[in-house]
Amino acid sequence: MVGKCVFFLIFSVMASVMDGQTLGGPMHDKVVVCYVATWAVYRPGPGKYDLSDIEPSLCTHLVYSFAGLDESTSSIRSLDPWQDLEKDYGKAGYKRLVSLKERYPHLKVTIAIGGWNEGSDKYSRMASKPETRAKFVESVMHFLNTYKFDGLDLDWEYPTKRGGTPEDRNNYVAMVKELKDAFEPYGYILTAALGAGKETMDTAYDLARLSRYLDFIHMMCYDYHGTWDNTVGANAPLRGTSEEDFLSVEYSIKYLLSHGVSPYKMILGLPMYGRNFLLADPSVKNITFGQTKAKNIGFAGPYTRESGFIGYNEICEEMTNKTSKWTRHWDNNSATAYIRDGEKVVVYDNPRSIAIKVKTAIDYGLGGLMVWSIDTDDFRGSCEPEPDTYLEFMERYNNIVDDPVLQEALKNLNLPDANRIENLSRRTAYAVANNKLHLRLAEPEFSNYPLMRTINEATTLALEEKRILDEMAAVVKQNEIGYKPDDKGSARSIAVNFCLLLYAVLTFKLF
């Protein structure tokens, strides 16, 4: 087996090198969905984001956002023809994004329809009748075939709300099923972005039926709190402020799982932005999420220019400015970073909080991660690296490193040699030296897309950690029942790990 594996990998890598055209994506097997807010091209100065700024190797799926609905014809349409299309000397955005697949064949590129500004009522009316749904499905099929997208992402915000009707809940499922039936012969992908608040999920979605027809469900696990609360709160808290607080990432995950959604179809949404607040009483010394009073307006960032909203690139640039007066803080319960300058407070996700949420997604067995949106990451690499990204990983490592059960588990895991990784790799990884587990953390460095890179590195790390912990659990169970696996499983594991290690070496991605 190993000989065949070596030949196949050498041939594959040599072909890729000689071709000089195709490039790869994330090293792990989880989905990483990157929404691209195409209007970011109109932002000023360093905040301007063009499609040429995309780093496709960081994503498995790119979602062009947004197309809209022409209610007069019940058909999908471009919302910005000059940016999207080629005619009349347009910027050909559709073609440019789809063409990335030529060099990055791992990519899937889909088109999103809807979004907050599109509203809900016209989608409600379109979905209410079989004949208008049929026109919509036909228009989508023509659209995907014309522009060569791999599928459609539904961003109806939200069924039954914002002018919708109670019938939207069933009509939405009917529309999704009809799209799926039309897509299947062509292999098109069908996904949907769903609001993650309990009240929205209760009324808008028949989750079990949607899970049956959708390829992936993009969980919008953000915007739980903002200026509309009149109190300071986390944009995307891992946990709520109490057991009765349903507005949290963990609650949303558990809710979807308990309502019949397959975990491998669930894609956890991560925000590349924060929410900001102006304190009602600037003299307040300590901030308490859910209690500290704030005004119902925030302030705008220099690039995104939206009150109460601020991109991570805007936040980290401000923190890199040595003359700024912002002070850094961390809320442990919600696993959220925040900064403060007098009456101004910004609550946001940094690399540390992103890594924690990635670990959460892996622990629950979810299909992957999604980001809204890639254009507000620090895509220019302007900001200083943050040193505490993997603090929680290190704490868990310290808790198990001297456990006798781990020593027994290491015999079955066949992890890489820590000395080789230490000498040759910049990658964060688990490895073994002198029969002891090591967690090597790569040195923080200036780099573009720090949040996206954290997602991919933390995914690999979390999968490795889960493998170790699962093996420890298996050792405990085997000891309890007096059972030990035969050698065939170990030999097979050695062969597979050898192939993976060789592939990493040959493609220069591990060493």
**Which H or E run contains 478?**
helix 450-481
* 22-34 residue pLDDT tens: 789 999 999 999 9
Q: How far apart are CA 378 and CA 394, in angstroms?
A: 25
* 253-281 residue pLDDT tens: 999 999 999 999 999 999 999 999 999 99
* 190-219 residue pLDDT tens: 999 999 999 999 999 999 999 999 999 999
Q: For 28-273+348-376, which CATH superfamily applies?
A: Glycosidases (3.20.20.80)
The pLDDT assigned to 507 comes to: 35
Is the pLDDT at 89 greater than 60? The verdict is: yes
The pLDDT assigned to 481 comes to: 77
Is the pLDDT at 361 greater than 90? The verdict is: yes
Considering only CA atoms, which of 271, 270, 284, 269 is closest in space to residue 345? Answer: 284
Tell me if residue 471 is catalytic: no
The pLDDT assigned to 480 comes to: 84
Q: What is the pTM of this model?
A: 0.89
Considering only CA atoms, which of 355, 365, 363 is closest in space to residue 386? Answer: 355
pLDDT band at 85 (very low <50, low <70, confident <90, very high): very high
* 413-455 residue pLDDT tens: 989 888 776 655 567 889 998 889 999 888 888 899 999 999 9
Is the pLDDT at 498 greater than 80? The verdict is: no
Give helix 351-363 / helix 391-400 axis angle, nearest 10°: 50
* 105-158 residue pLDDT tens: 999 999 999 999 999 999 999 999 999 999 999 999 999 999 999 999 999 999
The pLDDT assigned to 508 comes to: 33
Catalytic residue among 118, 157, 314, 318: 157
SS3 at position 271: strand
Q: How many CA atoms lie within 13 A of 335 on its CB side?
A: 23
The pLDDT assigned to 326 comes to: 96
Is the pLDDT at 509 greater than 70? The verdict is: no
Contact (Cβ atoms closer than 8 angstroms) between residue 466 and residue 473? no
Residue with tokens 């228009």: 139
Q: How far apart are CA 383 and CA 155, in angstroms?
A: 32
Instruction: Give the mean model confidence (pLDDT) for residues 482-504.
Output: 42
Domain ranges in the chain? 28-273+348-376, 391-443+449-506
Considering only CA atoms, which of 227, 221, 182 is closest in space to residue 201? Answer: 221
Q: 443-460 in b/e burial notation, b at 16+ Cβ within 10 A?
A: eeeeebbbbbbbbbbbbb
Query: pLDDT exceeding 70 applies to what percent of the chain?
Result: 89
**Which H or E run contains 152?**
strand 151-155
Q: How far apart are CA 303 and CA 154, in angstroms?
A: 27
> What mean pLDDT, rounded, does the chain reach?
90
